[in-house]
Structure 1
């Protein structure tokens, strides 16, 4: 039977307090969380079984999945203060999420944990029907509620500076106002670090000589009020570029000009057209050539900015879209930015915003200093056919099927098998299951299962001894009485033989 995602439900939940009781009841019925089964590390009693880096959406659902799997000895660190995790109320500047409101996201198979349940508990079913897309700040409110109702142990204002091997364990050095110690030991480390979690903002070289006060990347903290009356150039036309252009226009910029290399506006979100459980399940099992083919095509066609975000810009008469106009050179001319373009014309501006996205590059991650160059990348493993080259895609890590890094040269960095890339860097190897809303629960279930398997295998002897030592009887011995065979039974048996 199909259900209408718009149809009002006869819900008995009329407040968040009632919904939270329902969540707790659901958890109890499902026996969540499971009892901890992981054998402790004998040599180092203060070792954590798993440390999750990042308390945003990826880190929260990863933490929940680990607890569901009976892995209780975990810690979750986030460098931001509480309520500021992830991009949602920092550098994300869209009015609403792109994802359809009915997607279950991090709910992990529980209806009571969905955004729909949260929203209807607050505003009612009629408001759900009227809702078009999820307001961005409300998604952050939902994630804060998700963390609270599941009592997830996120420690805020704790930054992980380095991840280094120490014997069979990993030593994480910490800093920040929330850090209770200078370092911790862990058996496994999950980098649930989101969109820029395995790289950095893509900064084109043409701003290298431009003083920093004249430009910003879309992920930077931008004082939009200071742009009032200014001429703004935005490089790019993806979602982040468009959202930042809208912010500048609404703050009173004199004009905003998009400089766009493409000859026309991207209009189709290709991967949305093939999203399915089958695609999620099959992607990591496809050949390298097939995975490259899909990812390269997606990157080349580019995901368009949402319709609402684009119209938020175009409704301003002082907004301009210049296609087939690449930036070739930028310099400062007195107090103006002089921009030379591929059209042979130069533009003058007061400030430049780079909507150039993020690049995946393990070498850019300070946490991995000293051995990032030992990580196997796609360009080490796969040579694309002529015409399918993509240098950016080639920098993605070539991951094992459990989200861990592989060594470029076997034996050089075996500890990489203890670090899990549960972030956007996993997309080329395993699909979009560790960064985007649609597949995040499937990815977390997959991650927790693989971590559980490794933890069990690594402590097999302790589990074997538990099996040998287990002596709790189910039967007491008084449940039966031994009976002799009836007369003639032995004779009959011998004759039959």
Structure 2
């Protein structure tokens, strides 16, 4: 094999060699257990996107039997090839993403093996669909087990394991696992946030930017996009490229945010130190960053502004929306205008009701609102409603609530930010988050089975010294000692 892989076949061989040199994966060591006539999985991961793949790979590397369950068809897990509409990723191409500290698993290694270093130097940002291709390769080269077409309908924690009920093409199934990881994305404990002024409209008049919606149906229509963030620009750009007659971005602020304040404190210290800050400090930091808002990528704004039929309406907060026949009339401080369709690029919210399968967890899990009580009432509820998680991302019970087995469920998705910082959903630190999660689960599994592991030590009988390595000396008598002296 060449020093620098010049094909995916070469790269696959390099990955295999790197894993061998690092003795990865470790031998499986968790005792096999049964419940209700079924072998328990060590860990079940819900969601096969980037976070789920990172978590499952890291767990597998530690010798823990792990299976991912995802509702989508193979190769379409996560948002990249479904609901995401950006042309390229927003992160710098140099970030290592889910590589787990192994150079041959990086996007750069995957890219250069196929296209060469010169093309890498020419590359600005990573094309969105190319990132999805990389994740498909990541899954295959590490042989991560993903069971597609499995939609979770209920998660029921028990004392010693968790029951997962799910629907598949073959019918209902029940799986039991000792630990469960929720790798369910940006809307992991809820769903899209849609202001009531929009959600009260007939459904055929609007969509959320995260919906799987056919933008080609917007050809020739006048579209209102609500918001000024990255998803608003992506939605507006996609609508314009699909042939929309006119797109107006209705932006509440009088200017588009220009500086990413969170980037100013992003460094390795934040990755490892944010989780240990006191709650009120974290609340203050995230409240400030949220209020300042993250600016949309420059390229995304230019994608919209290059169209002459795109209009940025600043200071255009929604005052009134009415239906006039087959049109929507929107009133803002800038006046009234009629539209054919509205796209709400208004973000996500924690709303357990939108994730029915979490019903048995929702009533028991402690939030930061309870952790930080008393509160003034003016806090950002997207932060205070976030779950208060333990060191391995595990849910913690509300005060005085019986929550048997709740700590077997781990929240490895965006709402974990208040507890752990941004390590459970974004590209920059996803590997560190996955390793923190897997190491915590490994420690818990070991502690739970310590009697078995101790018994293994007592029964272990593989000799390393055989007794033929030396000859025992006779006992010395007094004359021997005098002679030696």
Q: TM-score range, shorter-chain basis? A: over 0.9
Partner residue, 2:69: 77
Q: CA deviation at 1:484?
A: 3.7
Q: CA deviation at 1:436?
A: 0.3
1:474 maps to what in 2?
464
Choose 328-337 or 410-419, whichever is displaced more.
410-419
Matched-pair contact (CA < 8 Å) for 2:219–2:245: yes
CA gap 1:262/1:11 in 2 versus in 1, 3 angstroms? farther
Offset of residue 426 of structure 1: 0.4
Mapped pair 1:193 → 2:193: no
SS at match of 1:438: helix
The correspondence of residues 32-431 of structure 1 with structure 2, limited to 5 A, is 32-41=24-33, 43=35, 46-72=39-65, 74-177=66-169, 182-341=173-332, 343=333, 345-383=335-373, 389-431=379-421
Contact 1:62–1:448 under 8 Å retained in 2: yes
Give the secondary structure class of the aligned counterpart of 1:304.
coil
| Distance in 2 separating the partners of 1:152 and 1:386 | 46
Structure 2: state its 5+ residue gaps.
none
Residue 424 of structure 1: CA displacement?
Answer: 0.4
Counterpart contact for 1:93–1:247, Cα < 8 Å? yes
Q: Distance in 2 between matches of 1:489 and 1:238?
A: 94
Task: Name the CA shift for 1:20/1:383 in 2 (closer, same or farther; >3 Å).
Answer: same
Contact 1:170 1:188 in 2 (8 A): yes
What whole-Å deviation, never above 9, does each CA across 1:185-242 have from its counterpart, x for those lacking one?
Answer: 1110000111111210111101233111110000112222221111110000111111
Write out per-residue CA displacement over residues 259-313 of structure 1, whole angstroms, 9 at most, x where no aligned residue: 1111211111222222211111000100011111111112111111100001000
Q: Where do 4+ consecutive residues of structure 1 move more than 6 Å?
A: 489-492
Contact 1:362 1:397 in 2 (8 A): no
Q: CA deviation at 1:344?
A: 6.6
Unpaired segments of 5 or more residues in structure 1?
1-9, 493-497
- Maintained 8 Å contact 1:363/1:373: no
Q: Distance in 1 between matches of 2:136 and 2:277?
A: 36
TM-score (structure 2 length as normaliser): 0.95
- Mean Cα displacement is larger for which, 191-200 or 404-413? 404-413
* TM-score, with structure 1 as normaliser: 0.93
Match of 2:441 in 1: 451
Deviates most, 216-225 or 440-449: 216-225
Secondary structure at the counterpart of residue 59 of structure 1: helix
Q: Deviations over 1:312-336 (max 9, x none)?
A: 0011111111122211222211111
Deviations 1:340-399 (A, max 9, x none): 22x172221110000001112334321111441221111111148769621222111111
Q: Tell me how far apart the structure 1 counterparts of residues 92 and 23 of structure 2 sit (CA, whole Å).
A: 31
Choose 366-375 or 198-207, whichever is displaced more: 366-375
Check conservation: 1:158, 1:178, Cα contact below 8 A.
no
Contact 1:62-1:447 within 8 A present in 2 as well:
yes
| SS across alignment from 2:294 | coil
Take 2:479 and 2:83, find their aligned partners in 1: how far apart are those partners?
A: 85
| Alpha-carbon distance, 1:422 to partner | 0.4
